[in-house]
Structure 1
Amino acid sequence: MHKLSYEIQPPAATLAPIVESFWRLQTGAVVDKPVLLLPDGRLDVLFSYSRTEPLHVMLMGLGTEAEQVTLAAETVMCAVSLRLPAAEYLLGTRVADILNSARPLPSDFWGITAADLTDFRQFYAKLNATLPTLLSPATDLRKLRLFEQIYATDGASPVHQLAAEAGWSSRQMNRYFQEYFGLSLKSYCAILRFRASFPQLKAGRLFPEQDFTDQAHFIREVRKFAGVRPKDLARNADDRFIQFSAWPQE
């Protein structure tokens, strides 16, 4: 069986600038499940185990292209999906070295155990309580203004406008993005714009509704990040694109 079960919860209000969501995924029994991971502009701390693998924890860096992976049968995975400020203010680390890659973390990271993964409410409540105590008190207001605008517009604002609103030069912003995350600010905004098209594609609307120049630009961007045309992503045969499958219906 290839069946996937998926649950998701938003963070507490105090964590909203740093954490996008908490989620849990479980695969079915008998056979492994091949899937493609799509770029979605998030960092993910993944806690998982299967019937053949003990609990392990990974920090997933940003992705810029679809990645083929196979989920083992009877995999249980809980995760914290993070906004980019989390790298500096929660994790205290740069993630440029794990662009399209991952970094192993200690198996007891954030005090999570295998038992926490069996009960999503327990996992969610535990980290909602723990993560605020780990946040750095020192923050750069320019960065917070920058990220607030990036996420509010799903990456649609041009770099020069973001610079003006954040009070930070375009050159400084791009240096920060390259050094901390491994890609340019413009490239990151393109990923967010691609991700923002998921709801319309899932509803079967194959024409651009975000800030794309025209239909050809939309098709190019979807093919760049998903490896397929918009109609193939919308069809999503056999739940091939896992984040797309988990996206709620409009």
Structure 2
Amino acid sequence: MSTSTFNYSYVLPEPALADFVESFWVLENHSDEAKEIVVLPDGSFDVFFGYSVTEPFHVTLSGIATESTQAILAAQTVMFAISFKFLALEYILHTPLAGLLNSTDYLPNDFLDIQQADLSDLESFKEKISLKLKTCLQKNIDPRKTKLSKCIYDSKGTVTIHHAADSCGWSSRQINRYFQHWVGISLKNYLTILRFRASFSQIQAGKLFPEQQYTDQAHFIREVKKFAGVVPKELSRNKNDRFIQFSILKKK
């Protein structure tokens, strides 16, 4: 998405980081006015590098979101970010984010050696960050966890817990302990968030019926309202482009 007022673009990680990083992206508000936005749960953990007319360069880390969040995109905002998958918590960031459920925290301004001057070109940002992430990446990765990750993300949240456990040779009890410790929610709840995210494009296109193995229409509406705060019909309308992820989908 790129207009005279807003710019959004993203790039995918190189294969060596694909199990840990979902994407690198930039969102800019070039206007002189702040914009009210709503951010929806999408299953990612994000590190943001940004600045605006109201705040100098800063770095923040967000935990998993289980509900929609209203926010203000300040005037003249420049925001570059990394969206991480759950394995990055253990093997790159080396810290559990259970305590950051539905919240964010500030990181040191020199985190990953990124400075304000690096926030000008997304490809250059990706290259610099990728080199740093690979130096942080722990070498001995539990193969059960990489299998679990592939199963979860490939299915877009539609896999059953039983099948996920069988596919990686890890008990559902152990998996849930792992998720509660590192992510802050159960695997079941994480899967429902990924399934909700997978419905974004269909809802944005006006397809207001379940396509991601929801039990029925009522279940679909209930889950969307739980995470978005509104029913699918209102979400698809996206009045004033306030649901920022839908605005991005519309214009990509």
Per the alignment, residue 22 of structure 2 pairs with 20
Per the alignment, residue 199 of structure 2 pairs with 197
What's the CA shift string for 1:74-109, capped at 9, x where partnerless?
010000001110000110000000010112111011
Q: What residue identity is the alignment partner of 1:118?
A: S
1:173 aligns with one of 152, 172, 175:
175
The root-mean-square deviation of aligned C-alpha atoms, in Å, is: 1.6
Whether the 8 Å CA contact 1:2–1:31 is kept in 2: the answer is: no
Whether the 8 Å CA contact 1:203–1:249 is kept in 2: the answer is: no
Whether the 8 Å CA contact 1:202–1:249 is kept in 2: the answer is: no
Comparing 218-227 with 171-180, greater Cα deviation is found at 171-180
Per the alignment, residue 88 of structure 2 pairs with 86
For structure 1, the residue ranges without an aligned partner over 5 or more in a row are none
Q: What residue identity is the alignment partner of 2:60?
A: M
Per the alignment, residue 224 of structure 1 pairs with 226
Deviation of 1:30 after TM superposition, in Å, equals 2.1
1:1-250 pair list within 5 angstroms: 3-247=5-249
Distance 2:237 2:30 in 1: 22
Deviation of 1:201 after TM superposition, in Å, equals 1.2
Distance 1:18 1:234 in 2: 30
Deviation of 1:249 after TM superposition, in Å, equals 6.2
Deviation of 1:202 after TM superposition, in Å, equals 1.5
For structure 2, the residue ranges without an aligned partner over 5 or more in a row are none
The size of the alignment, in residue pairs, is 250
Q: Is the alpha carbon distance of 1:248 and 1:190 closer, same or farther for their aligned partners in structure 2, counting shifts above 3 Å?
A: same
Distance 1:222 1:52 in 2: 33
SS in 1 for 2:50: strand
Distance 1:120 1:163 in 2: 37
SS in 2 for 1:157: coil
Distance 2:99 2:234 in 1: 31
SS in 2 for 1:48: strand
Distance 2:23 2:5 in 1: 22
Distance 2:77 2:247 in 1: 17
Over the matched positions of the two proteins, sequence identity in percent amounts to 52
Distance 1:62 1:50 in 2: 24
Distance 2:139 2:106 in 1: 26
Taking structure 1 as the reference length, what is the TM-score of the superposition? 0.96
Deviation of 1:239 after TM superposition, in Å, equals 1.3
Distance 1:162 1:242 in 2: 31
SS in 2 for 1:51: coil
Q: What residue identity is the alignment partner of 1:106?
A: P
Comparing 228-237 with 88-97, greater Cα deviation is found at 228-237
Whether the 8 Å CA contact 1:222–1:228 is kept in 2: the answer is: yes
Deviation of 1:185 after TM superposition, in Å, equals 0.4
Distance 1:192 1:66 in 2: 14
Distance 1:140 1:180 in 2: 15
